[in-house]
Amino acid sequence: MKNKKKMCFGLIIGTRAFFNSELAKDVRKQLLKTLADEGYDYVILPEDATPTGSSSIETREDGLKCAELFRQNRDRIDGIIVSLPNFGFEIGIINAISVADLNVPVLVQACDDENDKVDLDSRRDAFCGKISVCNNLYQYGIPFTDTTLHTYSIYDIQLKKDINKFAAICRVVNGLRHCRIGQIGTRPLGFNTCRFSEKLLQRSGITVVPADLSEILYAAQKVSDDDEKFKKMCERIHNYAKVPEQYREKLNLQAKFGVAVENWIETNDVQAVAIQCWDSLEQNYGCAACVTMSMLSNKLIPAACETDIAGAVSMYALLLASGQAPALLDWNNNFAEDRNKCVCTHCGNFPKSFIGNDDLKLGPLGVLGRTLGKINTFGAVYAKTSEGPFSFFRISTDDPKGCIKAYLGKGQMTSDPYGMDGCIAVTKVDNLQKLMKYICKNGFEHHVAMCRTDVVDILDEAINTYLGWNLYIHE
């Protein structure tokens, strides 16, 4: 994931004139400190920009000043944070947000009263005021995110946690609304399950950028042995996974394919990619795409197998939510000893950081190797994931219903051995049989995206509040 700029929030401090202005000044100071400590940038009115001081917004005129500042910084602002030191006056706040019209996520935070300090100089009434602000956001049709607790002290550690979670929500929403997904090659004949609607994706701001596989293979064949990118790619592959001696002759071919793919990704500014890995590449070029996809995902450019565009979008959503490399897997084999366990696998595309250990080696594809020959299918990563938590996520474009639908949940990867080649993850998900019924009954694909941390709440908020997709959360 490219860090093009530091994440930036537009800040609104709400107030009313008959409350103690020192409370708002204190909140402003601490909020800015928390944001700076967490590495975020911000846009806020100068302290003397409004009559109430501390850059607090009360009247419509205050709100218009703030809106103009936000519009001037439209390209910087990823989300808006509203903080209420006291009851606040919703007119200024709603005008600031609605007139700025940034179409970014909004977080609403309000401060606790100290119940032994509720005299006229000390009371806040933000508990009540937050309801009024949220009511106005609802009236204006502006979606927003609530904090974990209705109110808490601006000094509470929960503020940092809520802001970091909100930042992840902003990454998901803004990232998906403006992403470009590369499609290298056509859908393999035997994979009707990888069909998707480009038009439904575009309605959510997701652009598909296609390339014929022949373009990439031609570019790979034109890569010179003297090319510095080629030399570095050979070195990167050697450092990434063990290369068996009998397949060393294929390394150059593999590296040139990797260079061609990376050059195309950079030229076309795509954030994730789905590649036709089965089986034209093996027959017409002589290697598999797995290690290229594994290395791309490991450098935070998610790469999906079998030209699964919806799978690539699912991977990218997990990346935006977690900041970690995702993988695309099959819900593949039952685990008879425990019906809540499932063996998830793919030929060999898992990124190294997803696997969680350095025990990677390259080899031929298992299934295709039997029919096309091992030497023509070299490039699969062999590895088994380490145990630990994971989240799973899958979107699908449902043409009959005219919508994007998704499911989401979490589980544990286990240390159970399993005797298959390729990339293996033995997973445990509560009520797995219920999940499988949901997947089958609702026409989802056999592919699923996973990341190695819990991002369920982040994706839940991003999708249900802002993106408007049909989402099932498995429990």
Q: Could you give the C-alpha distances from 204 to 152, 197, 249, in angstroms and in order? A: 35, 12, 45
By percentage, how much of the chain surpasses pLDDT 70? 98
292-308 pLDDT tens trace: 999 999 999 999 999 99
**pLDDT of residue 408 exceeding 90:** yes
> Among 119-128, 139-148, 394-403, whose mean pLDDT is lowest?
119-128
Q: Indicate the SS3 state at residue 207.
A: strand
- Mean predicted lDDT score pLDDT of the chain: 94
181-195 pLDDT tens trace: 999 999 988 899 999
Query: What is the rounded CA–CA span in Å between residue 2 and residue 5?
Result: 9
334-360 pLDDT tens trace: 998 899 999 999 999 999 999 998 889
- Looking at residue 120, its pLDDT comes to 65
Q: What is the mean pLDDT of residues 125-152?
A: 96
**pLDDT of residue 259 exceeding 70:** yes
380-404 pLDDT tens trace: 999 999 999 999 999 999 999 999 9
**pLDDT of residue 3 exceeding 60:** no
- Looking at residue 265, its pLDDT comes to 98
Tokens 């639908």 appear where?
A: 405
Tokens of 424: 């293996």
- Looking at residue 89, its pLDDT comes to 85
231-254 pLDDT tens trace: 999 999 999 999 998 888 889 999
Burial 367-384 (b: 16+ CB within 10 A, else e): ebbeebeeebbbbbbbbb
**Cα distance between the two ends of the chain:** 29
**pLDDT of residue 278 exceeding 90:** no
429-460 pLDDT tens trace: 999 999 999 999 999 999 999 999 999 999 99
List, in order, residues 6 or more apart from 111 with CB less than 8 Å away. 23, 27, 83, 84, 85, 86, 124, 126, 151, 152, 153, 154
| pTM > 0.85: yes or no | yes
Among 271, 270, 231, 266, which residue's Cα sits nearest to residue 251? 231
**pLDDT of residue 117 exceeding 80:** no
> Among 32-41, 162-171, 318-327, 414-423, whose mean pLDDT is lowest?
414-423
Q: Are strands 79-84 and 106-110 parallel, antiparallel or unpaired?
A: parallel
**pLDDT of residue 132 exceeding 90:** yes
316-339 pLDDT tens trace: 999 999 999 999 999 999 998 899
